[in-house]
Structure 1
Amino acid sequence: MKLTVIGATGMAGSAIVLEAARRGHDVTAIARSAEKLADLKAKVPTAQTLIKDAFALTKDDLSNSDVVIDAFASSPKTAYLHVDLAAKLVALFRQSSQPRLFFILGAGSLHIGEDHHLAVKDMEKDPQNDSFISVPQNQLKELQFLQNVDDVNWVAVSPAASFHTGAATTILKGKDDLLFNQTGQSETSSGTMAKAILDEIEQENYHQTRFTIADGD
């Protein structure tokens, strides 16, 4: 399959490029930094690269792809760009079944507790989170936007509470509730995220909805 990864040099994006190439897919990596793309190309020689800002991408840049994965990440000061990029991609492919749009969201939009409240509400109560809270808040807005899109082929995934660099493990999968493994940990490694995304791309179990994954061990 032809896969395109936006934000390909970030933690999630680079892991997805590596996993896609390992599985034999035709993958194009998009990022703004020529230096970082060159480093990624050295690790994944089969990958094609495109140096371009995500907001400068055109329909022609993406329309030959079977799946476009939005692995874009912003600073807390510009966290609204998560919503803006989702809106841009949706606008490009309204009333179209291809490419499939795959969005990586945050854990803040997942539910937790007996009352199933949003995890971001707990984050907002801790002053230590003030410096980055705008990111999960805007990723929640991104999900809410996507949930009203019914004429685009999209899917989204949220990691567990801690999303970090690491090798793939077994995968725990859920729908809208924050996941914990048998030892009570709520973590998702970049390798597990990449593995889960490629599994979903190849098997297509979800359509116009969000699911969540976590490390099983």
Structure 2
Amino acid sequence: MSRFTVIGGTGYAGSAIVTEAAARGHQVTALSRSLPDAPIPNVTYVQGDATDEATLSSVIEGADVAVAVLAPRGPLAGPFRDVYRTIARLADTEGVRLFVVGGASSLRPSPGADRFVTDLSQVPEELRDGILTDAAVIIEDLPATPATLDWVYVSPARGFGAHAPGERLGRYRLGDDVSVAPEDGGAISAADYALGFVDLIEKGEHHREQVNLSH
């Protein structure tokens, strides 16, 4: 059993990871701005603001694994990268492994190709800043952290999100920074993404690298 802290643990991906980790018997603490209407049994919920370093420190200290599941929207649109830098610094100081739920736009269509994020011409303009900000975490920020920080950036297949929830199939495919396209053309479900995500944490085979999960 490990002690998981999930920062952003009540959103679409975060709540699925919390559910999967708790079901496997891990000790889970979920930090979020608001408490869930239907809390998961045996999960400790902490209501707080991820932009507050003291709050982050209180939930990262004593953990074995920190999972960051935040989005550069709303109140986090501006401070998003600073918040992630703070999470990384605190995790490094505490010797906590860091797993980040990333976006698919930072993946590559083929080995050595430019990342999808380099061409956002087909993306609505109002979404581009958020995509660029999210991708900068894996392109710039995480690689610049001290070598002592053990991090993994886990992207889902393209199309992942609450708008396309999908069904739990009980399986997934794992790739590196080259996008693994879903075999059925649909997005991986939150439940199967969480299945793969917690497997990655438990197996501990990846370090300071980007991977992606797909059906």
Q: Give the alignment of 1:42-191 within 5 angstroms.
A: 44-56=40-52, 57-75=55-73, 78-94=76-92, 96=94, 98-112=95-109, 116-122=113-119, 124-126=120-122, 128-143=123-138, 144-149=140-145, 150-164=147-161, 165-169=165-169, 170-183=171-184, 185=185, 187-191=187-191
Aligned mates of 1:85, 1:70 — CA distance in 2: 10
Aligned mates of 2:4, 2:74 — CA distance in 1: 28
- What code does the residue aligned with 1:92 have? L
8 Å CA contact retained: 2:102, 2:134:
yes
Q: Aligned in 2, Cα 1:129/1:155: closer, same or farther, shift over 3 Å? A: same
8 Å CA contact retained: 1:163, 1:187:
yes
- What code does the residue aligned with 1:192 have? D
- What code does the residue aligned with 1:50 have? V
- What code does the residue aligned with 2:204 have? E
Shift of the alpha carbon at 1:80? Answer: 4.6
8 Å CA contact retained: 1:68, 1:101:
yes
Gaps of at least 5 residues in structure 1 are none
Aligned mates of 1:93, 1:182 — CA distance in 2: 36
8 Å CA contact retained: 2:108, 2:116:
yes
Aligned mates of 1:138, 1:145 — CA distance in 2: 10
Q: Aligned in 2, Cα 1:66/1:114: closer, same or farther, shift over 3 Å? A: closer
Aligned mates of 1:199, 1:40 — CA distance in 2: 25
Q: Aligned in 2, Cα 1:76/1:12: closer, same or farther, shift over 3 Å? A: same
Q: Secondary structure at the match of 1:73?
A: coil
Determine the structure 2 residue equivalent to 1:203.
Answer: 203
8 Å CA contact retained: 1:3, 1:66:
yes
The structure with the greater share of residues assigned to strand is 1
Gaps of at least 5 residues in structure 2 are none
Aligned residues: 206
Kindly provide the CA deviation profile for residues 97-142 of structure 1, in whole angstroms up to 9, marking residues without a partner as x: x2111111111111115871211233x112x521211222112110
